[in-house]
Amino acid sequence: MLHPRLTDQNWWRSAVVYQIYPRSFADSNNDGTGDVRGMTDHLDYLEKLGVDAVWVSPWYPSPLHDGGYDVADYKDINPDFGTLADADEFIAQAHARGLRVLIDLVPNHCSSDHPLWQAALAAGPGSPEREMFIFRDGAGENGELPPNNWGAHFGGPAWHRVTEADGTPGQWYCHLFAPEQPDWNWENPRVADMFDDILRFWFDRGVDGFRIDVADAMFKHQEFPDARVDPATGLGTVSKYEGSPIWDMPAMEGLQRRWRTVADEYADSDLGPRVFVSEAYLPGNRRIKYLAEGRLHTSFNFELLESEWSAASMRVVIDQSLAEHATVGAPTTWVLNNHDNIRTVSRFGKDPSGLDFTRGRDRFDPHLGERLARATTDVELGRRRSRAAAMLMLALPGGAYVYQGEELGLEEVEDLPEESLQDPIWLRSNHTIRGRDGCRVPMPWSGTQPPFGFGQDAEPWLPMPAHWSELSVEAQGEDPGSVLELYRTLLDERRRNVALGEGPMEWDESPEQVLSFTRGDLFRCVVNYGPEPVPVADEVIVASADLLVEEDQVLLPQDAAVWLQLD
Ligand code: NOJ
């Protein structure tokens, strides 16, 4: 019998989706690495938390040169994470609890361990096998120079020269990320056919949808012109300026429509049509065209994640996001955290407090990460602000994403020992830029010693801070003032309150450092960013911090938020 919540085919318009990073969620077989059974074991936790869906970051066979975003087989499970049978069980158990399941599609590139890549290397220039990837002869007299100036995301050029079977230096191939991630050639219809087949393989297993990795990258300008030079590297920039030969090419539209047709083939199935969320770090006005009729359903809206902690900045973000999405009739999503960005608790505890607020800038700019990493962090301040930010996010129209550990108020682990770092950014920057491992440290579940119930006693793949004993699920479950209890309360209210999720919102008049808005006639959210306390006149549903009481007046203090029930 289908869980009653799964009968709603519009679930994605207002869903709260919980991101699982499988390697770091729960280690059921005590080998130091999270796995699919660990995920299944903790579905009760997610059900109780009150989310509507999960998104599972890549769980495919992979040498993990980029944490699994280097896929060696799109139709199987990494043996270190489990088996296809485990995945089937996970999907079935999630559905039994009314939770939808999204998984990750990585269509721009695969792993250099992928059999088709190995076949391409073996087959030699001009072969149909090489046509699956982007091979070009080098420039220079003997082909000794890369075909153009494009730079790769994790550092260095986006081209790598292969050695041909006879041992001579050969052609170059394109990789927008690490050299171990060769880009597929989307001009070749065989690639599109292969991905249709991958989509159906997982849809047939009951997956509700896909998150599309670098959804603006697949097609490249076929004359392969140089990109604008990035003065910092001397290479073609990875930034997504209008007219870039790499990003957001017009051919994306046809591919999106094709994928939508495949998802819509499932319209008559029990679970209904399947859905997509695209990951494209583009400015809103360019990103929302992906959501036009017949294209994709939703797109990550990273504007809150990029915003500094201020009323002015967040108000601009909210107004622009809602206005842009209204033009295509698609719901917006909201994101504060994911596995690629410094966690809110640390981000909002720094000065400056956001990612660079320059819209359209490239997200993987490693130097930005370094600048942030160097700023000192006031974790308590950051946690206080993160609680308020969660209240803002979950009160806004549309859907939201919660990244594992966000609901525990975990901070970025900024002092991981260098020998433990695994992010390709660390390797490819010659160990000068630490990268993203600090937000990927395993989840603390219980107990007083690492690995805090992540596994039993095996050393986790990244070390866990000793003080996370206080932040474990077990520790927080007993504390009504904990971040976890706050998230549970917010998600419970969100599910019960019809004014929340998709729908209209109205701004109230408020002081400059305050955001105040209503949803329907009965619900108000107020966030106070400034030092001046704000009077609270209505009935409090939930507050992110202790309210002040002065001369019979209830006041909302700085860096705090409140949800109110109106008469
Ligand atoms: C975006 C993913 O979120 C990130 O983790 C990965 O490194 C790149 N895409 C490349 O696949």
Q: What is the pLDDT of residues 151-205, one digit of tens each?
A: 999 989 999 999 998 999 999 999 999 999 999 999 999 999 999 999 999 999 9
CB contact at 8 A, 198 and 74: yes
Percent of the chain with pLDDT over 70: 97
Q: For residue 359, what pLDDT is reported? A: 36
CA–centroid distance, residue 67 to ligand 1 (Å): 8
Distance CA 159, CA 173 (A): 5
Q: How far is the CA of 324 from the centre of ligand 1 (A)?
A: 25
- The answer to whether 241 and 305 are in contact (CB under 8 A) is no
Pocket test for ligand 1, best of 69, 176, 177 (most atoms within 8 A of CB): 69
The confidence band for 375, taking pLDDT boundaries of 50, 70 and 90, is confident
- Return the bridge partners of 101, or none: 54
pLDDT for the residue numbered 367:
61
For 108-134, what is the mean pLDDT?
97
The residue to mutate among 104, 154, 184, 213, having the most atoms of ligand 1 within 8 angstroms of its beta carbon, is 213
The residue whose CA has the least distance to atom 6 of ligand 1 is 69
What atom in ligand 1 is closest to the CA of residue 108? Answer: 11
Amino acid 65: pLDDT:
98
**Residue 168's pLDDT is what?**
94
Total residue count of the chain as it appears in this document: 567
What's the mean pLDDT in 34-50?
98
Q: Rounded to the nearest whole angstrom, what is the distance from the C-alpha of residue 69 to the centroid of ligand 1?
A: 6
**pTM of the predicted model, to two decimals?**
0.97
Give CA–CA dist 247/230, Å, rounded: 15
For a pocket test of ligand 1, which of 21, 104, 177 has the largest count of ligand atoms closer than 8 A to its C-beta?
Answer: 177
Cβ pair 437, 421 in contact under 8 A = yes
Q: How confident is the model over 342-359, as pLDDT tens digits?
A: 999 999 998 878 775 443
Q: Active-site residue numbers?
A: 213, 265
Contact 293, 359 (CB under 8 A): no
Pocket of ligand 1 from Cβ distances under 6 Å: 66, 69, 106, 177, 213-214, 279, 339-340
Counting from 1 in the atom list of ligand 1, the atom nearest the Cα of 69 is 11
Token output for 423: 């992010």
Is residue 368 scored above 80 in pLDDT? Answer: no
CA-66 nearest atom, ligand 1: 7
Cα-based angle 257, 258, 262 (whole degrees, multiple of 5): 115
Alpha-carbon gap, residue 460 to 30, rounded angstroms: 9
Report pLDDT digits (tens) over 487-543: 999 999 999 999 999 999 999 999 999 999 999 999 999 999 999 999 999 999 999
Write down the pLDDT at residue 362.
47
Residue nearest to atom 5 of ligand 1 (CA): 340
In degrees, rounded to 5, the angle at the alpha carbon of residue 262 between the alpha carbons of residues 260 and 268 is 100
